[in-house]
Structure 1
Amino acid sequence: MMTNLQKASLFFLSFLMISIMACSRELSHDDNEEEIIFKEESSTGEPEHYQAVPNDLVLIYDGGAHRRIQWGKEHFAPYVSAEVNGEEKWLFDGFLFLEIHDGRGRGFASGYQAMAARKTEWENLLENYFAKGNGIHALNEQIEEMRKTGRVTGEFEKRKVVLCIPEPIPNQTDWGQLDGRSLQFFRKEDRIDACKWYIDFAEQLFQDANFEHVELVGFYWLAEEATNSRNLAKDVADYVYGKKYDFYWIPYFNSDGYSEWRNLGFNVPYYQPNYFFSESIPYSRLQEACDRARKFQMNMEIEFDDRALKNNGWGYRLTDYLDVYEKNGVFDSLKVAYYQGGDAFYKLSQSEEEADRALYRRIIHLITQRAEEGVD
């Protein structure tokens, strides 16, 4: 059986092969090509949702010792509201809290670290999100402050929180104990029990916090491929749905099982184009990702990191996402997730470079326009 490092190498080699086979960025899709307009698609067969799904879901990576960002109240300020055409308006309506490893050698999903995270790391991750002055508390406090000012226009709805579920990595034997028994992850029932414990713990922490301005609407499956979840995610989904939450998933481009999201048990899927991260990946990748999302009825993800800042020179790749998504009607009818590396959106909002400010203004305009017009 392969080790986690061997699996990580295989994932990397697969991604590298895709990148090498890709053409240069100068190749753009044919302007005469038939446009894909999502809102013309039939809604027949759409999955049932137990909670309202946010239009604009921003990914907040936090919880690992390697992180240098402090997600306090002030840091959430540019995500909560912004000035648009002279008026302060609400921005992201959804916040996904997640982490891939603990920064000390333990991974929360297959392939990230040599060792798998244990119960203690799972517990610490959640407690970090609910620590006073950080994470969800800080988000709630910033929203409260803005509501008290009365400056923000438009009707307010509670911001929606989604929490990641670490993958119970197959064959792990040192995860820890539940009810006096040691869980062994070569047993499917033990993997499911670990997930149930985590979901219950998260739900209890949220209830105990008694937040006024945010609500828990779902859980996110951290593993971005189905390789180790094909016979597990559906059982976890049944537990999530039994509690009236939704089950989110954001598989990467060509991920194992990405088109099988329904059978795997998820009901809020997004698709990663993975275009931003390498200049060897052609512009046509974005249209291909949109076509696949249309075919398999998935939402879309926008991806960028600090390289999008003017001083790093990759802002054009973020612009490409916005251009292609607008052409394809993504912002008219689909939900959008925003991968920002660490806090690249924050950096765009604080930058004095006009190119960065222009990107920031374009994003907040798209978000606030969606909020005003609504998404079908």
Structure 2
Amino acid sequence: MKIVRRVMGRYFLQYLFVCLTCVFCFSCSSDDNPEPEPEKPSSEDPGFPWEEERTQILSTRDMVLIYGGGAHRTTIWDKEHLSSYVTYKDETGKEHWLFDSYLFLEIHNGKDKMFASGYTQTPANQRDWMDLVDYYFQSKIAVGALDKCIGEAAERIGKPSEKHKIVIGLPEPIFGQKDWGSLKDGIMLDFSSSLDRIDACKWYIDYVRKKFKALKVANIELAGFYWIAEEATNTRTIVRDIAAYLNELKYSFNWIPYFNSDGYNEWKNLRFNYAFLQPNYFFNETVPYSRLDEACQIAIKNGMDMEVEFDENVLSVNNGGGRLYDYMKAFKENNVWNSKRLAYYQGNSALYLLSVSADPSDNRLYHEFCHFIIERPGIK
């Protein structure tokens, strides 16, 4: 399967170190220890006030991708790391709000379990899906830490005009899997059935809603979900029903297909609310600058939003900063910067590394990139 960004270095740095995340944060399971049965959603309406009060589906403006929840990750998403994604101090020392939205996602758990097809691992099961959600909704890291960062920043610079938003990655129920788990009567779901795949996704959505409510955050809205699969090949039969369920609850359904992926131009028919096109330019130096212009025009033609892409190679020591400058230049020249919602892929924690770097070239790039965000016109 052609997964351009995955092949072109999107994840190559993520295997260099032994992850500390599992030690300090992630509720990983051991094959040697029995696991409790996953909690089943209640048949009673749990009551989610924010859904009852919401009058429309929320959109994002500048949404940064935060990868976490796998044992291979090296970044612990605590307040120290997330603060660089919440506000930015410009050259004069003035502090600004930065991203308005945060997409928490993972592609595999670092223990040979994948959350989307196209990899070589074993399909993740219900317990793995549950562990992923449990990782996101902790008080001292991930969503809990983000909420605290926003609250503390609001005391310094005043409340933002609206609450910050989170979007949660929704795993792909991989076709043919028969050992995912059960929802009732102990009967195992069979992912050869579209109905069973859809039911598993609904269970996951409901579990996220419940965990978000239990965390009791003050500065964040649960805005939507993100489809982890970057192509439509294996999920055309189920995404419309998932979208209908989400939209009924007033959540957005988001997608970030790779360049020319199967189904990218069908995103409206597939019932995604927002689709962000990946140019897949940053990761391969043989891809010419014209790719960015082409991607911008494809996105405009198909009514899509777009993604900015970079990873740890953006640091001056790796000589990749010039290609991030290219994104900013092309997006402005093609009127994407001032008219589109943007998503920002930044590898593991490349923006944090830029923000703390002592290298003058990194400092210049960091400031220009942050100005690129904070100076964008309001996007509706």
Short-chain TM bin: 0.7 to 0.9
What amino acid maps onto 1:184 in structure 2? D
Equivalent residue number for residue 265 of structure 1:
271
2:304 alignment partner AA: M
Q: Spell out the pairing of 1:51-62 with structure 2 (5 A cutoff).
A: 51-62=57-68
RMSD of equivalent CA atoms:
1.7
2: CA distance, partners of 1:177 / 1:72: 33
* Deviation of 1:97 (Å): 0.2
Cα deviation code 1:248-283 (max 9, x no counterpart): 000000100000001111011100000000111111
Contact 2:313/2:320 (8 A) holds in 1: yes
| Deviation at residue 144 of structure 1 after TM alignment | 1.3
Does residue 369 (structure 1) correspond to residue 375 (structure 2)? The answer is yes
Shift of 1:359: 1.1
Partner of 2:241: 235
| Structure 1: distance between partners of 2:358 and 2:127 | 42
Counterpart in the other structure of 2:27: none
2:96 corresponds in structure 1 to: 89
Q: Does the 8 A contact of 2:240 with 2:270 survive in 1?
A: yes
Q: Which has the larger share of helix? A: 1
After superposition, give the CA deviation of every residue in 1:9-38 in whole Å (9 maximum; x if it has no partner).
Answer: x5469979xxxxxxxxxxxxxxxxxxxxxx
Task: Give the C-alpha shift of residue 286 in structure 1.
Answer: 0.3
Q: Give the superposition deviation at 1:224.
A: 0.2
AA aligned opposite 2:219: H
For the 8 Å contact 1:101–1:113, the answer to whether it is kept is: no
State the SS of the aligned residue for 1:270. Answer: strand
Which residue of 317, 326, 336 maps to 1:330?
336
Q: Which runs of 5+ in 1 are unaligned?
A: 1-6, 17-48
Q: Is the CA contact 1:349–1:357 (under 8 Å) kept in the aligned structure 2? A: yes
Q: Which fold has the larger relative contact order, with Cα–Cα distance below 8 Å and residues 6 or more apart in sequence? A: 1
Are the structure 2 counterparts of residues 229 and 50 from structure 1 closer, same or farther at C-alpha, using a change threshold of 3 Å? farther
Cα pair 2:57 2:247 within 8 Å, conserved:
no
Q: Which amino acid aligns with 2:136?
A: Y
The 5 Å alignment of 1:15-34 reads: none
- Picking from 126, 131, 134, the partner of 1:124 is 131
Query: Are residue 254 (structure 1) and residue 260 (structure 2) matched?
Result: yes
Q: What's 2:251 paired with?
A: 245
Deviation at 1:154, TM superposition (A): 7.1
Give the Cα separation in 2 of the matches to 1:255 and 1:141: 38
Cα deviation for residue 348 of structure 1 reads: 0.7
Instruction: Give the 3 Å change call, closer, same or farther, for CA 12–245 of structure 1 in structure 2.
Output: closer
Q: Give the drift of 1:114.
A: 2.7
CA contact (8 A) 2:167 2:226 kept: yes
Q: Give the CA deviation at 1:132.
A: 2.3
After superposition, what is the alpha-carbon deviation per residue over 1:52-106, rounded to whole angstroms, capped at 9, x for unaligned? 3121100000000001100001111111111124321111000000000000001
Give me the whole-angstrom Cα distance separating, in 2, the residues matched to 1:155 and 1:240: 26
The alpha-carbon deviation at position 147 of structure 1 amounts to: 1.8
CA contact (8 A) 2:5 2:258 kept: no
Equivalent residue in structure 1 for 2:286, among 280, 296, 300? 280
- Whole-angstrom distance in 2 between the partners of 1:333 and 1:11: 28
* Partners of 2:93 and 2:348 in 1: CA distance: 28
The answer to whether residue 226 in structure 2 is matched with residue 208 in structure 1 is no
Deviation at 1:155, TM superposition (A): 3.8
Q: Distance in 1 between matches of 2:60 and 2:111?
A: 33
Counterpart-to-counterpart distance in 2, 1:12 and 1:297: 22
- Provide the aligned length of Structure 1 versus Structure 2: 332
Question: Take 2:6 and 2:131, find their aligned partners in 1: how far apart are those partners?
Answer: 33
Would the aligned equivalents of 1:58 and 1:339 in 2 still touch at CA under 8 Å? yes
Structure 1 residues 213 and 13: CA distance shift in structure 2, 3 A: closer
Match of 1:164 in 2: 169
Map 1:31-50 onto structure 2 (within 5 A).
50=56
CA distance in 2, matches of 1:339, 1:307: 13
2 CA distance for matches of 1:301 and 1:54?
A: 13
- 1:143-178 C-alpha deviation (Å, 9 max, x unpaired): 111222x2x267442110000100000000110111
Shift of 1:129: 0.2
Instruction: Tell me the distance in 1 between the aligned counterparts of 2:197 and 2:97.
Output: 39
| Maintained 8 Å contact 1:95/1:161 | yes
- Identity of matched residues, %: 47
**TM-score normalized with structure 1 length:** 0.85
Aligned to 2:181: 176
The equivalent residue for 1:193 is 199
CA deviations on 1:86-137 (whole Å, 9 max, x unpaired) are 3211110000000000000010000123310000000000000012211000
What amino acid is the match of 1:218?
G
1:209-258 alpha-carbon deviations (Å, 9 max, x no partner): 12100110000000000000111110100100110111000000010000
Q: Secondary structure of 1:181's partner?
A: coil
Partner residue, 1:21: none
Larger displacement relative to structure 2 (289-298 or 329-338): 329-338
Change in Cα spacing, 1:100 to 1:15, as seen in structure 2 (3 Å) is: closer
Tell me what 2:141 maps to.
134
Amino acid at match of 1:243: L
Gaps of 5+ in 2: 9-54
Match of 1:27 in 2: none
Kept in 1: contact 2:138–2:215 (CA 8 A):
no
SS in 2 for 1:58: strand
Q: Does 1:347 align with 2:379?
A: no
Alignment of 1:298-337 (within 5 A): 298-337=304-343
SS of corresponding position for 1:52 = coil
Amino acid at match of 1:125: L
